[in-house]
Amino acid sequence: MSDSLDREYPEHDPVAAQWEKLRRLSKPAPGASGTGKGDGLSPAPVPQRQPFNPRRRRGNRPRTMKTRYDGRPDRSYRDPGVFGELVQREIRRNGWNRNFAVGTLKGNWAGIVGEDVARHTTVAMYKEKERQLHIECDSTAWATNLRLMQSMILQTIARKVGPDVVAELRIYGPRPPNWRKGRYHVKGRGPRDTYG
């Protein structure tokens, strides 16, 4: 097919043809100089594209920052906030303060009472109505020591978790093993050993 083009147009060069077309269009039309000569027809002016201006997108308005009465910038509702503040606001709004505090108490028991005490104790349960925290110790000696330290532990819990979360501590020694096997049982004579 290129042979047929070469025969019809011996010097067919598309790039050269486009340059020639551009030169013809860039010459002023006759009579376009305003002297009155020629047919009076001139090509319509081609609008030139303006360079990108970011202010056009905003509507040519300068961006103003809201300020308070004292001149400091005002925090808008659209400004990003701290995630922790958002969570705390939701906890307060839904009335989950005490539940959140108890979860913090159970999850961070070692940080509240110390590693040594936490190694020998576990939080068994929390009774919300009575505001009682039930603690199980791995030996009777630790249960006795914790009963002596009870007021100090309550002060630490009030300082680190909240003042109205725990009002009373119930401290238990280790649970004796259960010897029941099966569905039926007869009440025994009670525990014989403290197992601790």
How do residues 154-175 score in pLDDT, each as one tens digit? Answer: 999 999 988 888 999 999 999 8
Tell me what the pLDDT averaged over the chain comes to: 78
Least confidently predicted of 91-100, 110-119, 184-193: 184-193
Q: CA quadruple 61, 64, 69, 74: dihedral positive or negative?
A: positive
CB 195 within 8 A of CB 177: yes
What share of the chain has pLDDT > 70, as a percent?
Answer: 68
Confidence of residue 134 (pLDDT cuts 50, 70, 90): very high
Highest mean pLDDT among 75-79, 150-154, 162-166 belongs to 150-154
How do residues 24-64 score in pLDDT, each as one tens digit? Answer: 777 766 665 555 555 556 667 766 766 666 666 655 566 66
How far apart are the C-alpha atoms of 143 and 171, rounded to whole Å? 6
Confidence of residue 121 (pLDDT cuts 50, 70, 90): very high
Q: Report whether pLDDT(122) > 90.
A: yes
Mean pLDDT of 136-164: 92
Q: Which amino acid is at 6?
A: D
What share of the chain has pLDDT > 90, as a percent?
Answer: 30
pTM: 0.50
| pLDDT number for residue 153 | 93
| pLDDT number for residue 169 | 94
| pLDDT number for residue 104 | 87
Q: Which fold, 97-172?
A: GMP Synthetase; Chain A, domain 3 (3.30.300)
Residue (of 167, 162, 175) closest to 122 by Cα position: 175
33 vs 180, which has greater pLDDT? 180
Cα dist. 29→17, 19, 45, 59, 70 in Å? Answer: 20, 18, 12, 39, 65
175 vs 3, which has greater pLDDT? 175
Taking the domains of the chain in order of start, what are their residue ranges? 97-172
How far apart are the C-alpha atoms of 82 and 103, rounded to whole Å? 22
Least confidently predicted of 77-81, 112-116, 160-164, 169-173: 77-81
For residue 144, what is the enclosing H or E element? helix 140-148
How far apart are the C-alpha atoms of 4 and 10, rounded to whole Å? 9
- Pull the structure tokens for residue 71: 């001149």
Cα dist. 8→11, 16, 132, 190 in Å? Answer: 9, 17, 104, 119
Q: Which of the 8 DSSP states describes residue 1? A: -
